[in-house]
Amino acid sequence: MNKTAIFEWPLRVYIEDTDAGGIVYYVNYLKFMERARTELLRSQGFEKQCIFDADLMFVVHGLNSEYLKPARLDDQLVVTAKVTRHGKAYMLMEQRVYRQNSEIRELLCRAEVKLACVDKQTIKPKRIPAELLSVLSN
């Protein structure tokens, strides 16, 4: 995968994602982004169990998000994830949540997420596996 490639994950808004007014509760955008990051890694052959088996975890180290427009019950969304930079023990991802109506995409939320690779037991920084860095760097 090329560092500049954008991964996309479609999803629909269900009632459990919304508040009493039928608007997506702001924290759920972070859940949607987490799913897209997980599916990005899975699409590259790095499922959660594979990472856990290596005694690693990726944890959110920092997050900067901006909510532009609300998503609503039954909306079809597309969540993106793009690795913009990485170091030995971190990845920086740019993420977006769009409402998808036929050919039109409307940006609802954007975020920059810094993920730290840590040892599963000690929660101390640990080098990202070379195989994963190779996939993210190509």
Tell me whether residue 53 is one of the annotated catalytic residues.
no
Q: Which residues contact 70 (CB under 8 A, 6 or more apart)?
A: 23, 24, 108
- Residue 119 CA to residue 68 CA, distance in Å, equals 35
Residue type, 74: D
Q: Give the C-alpha separation, 96 to 125, whole Å.
A: 27
Q: Helices (H), strands (E): how many in the chain? A: 3, 5
Reduced to 3 states, what is the DSSP secondary structure of residue 24? Answer: strand
Catalytic hit among 17, 19, 74, 119: 19
Catalytic positions, written as ranges: 19
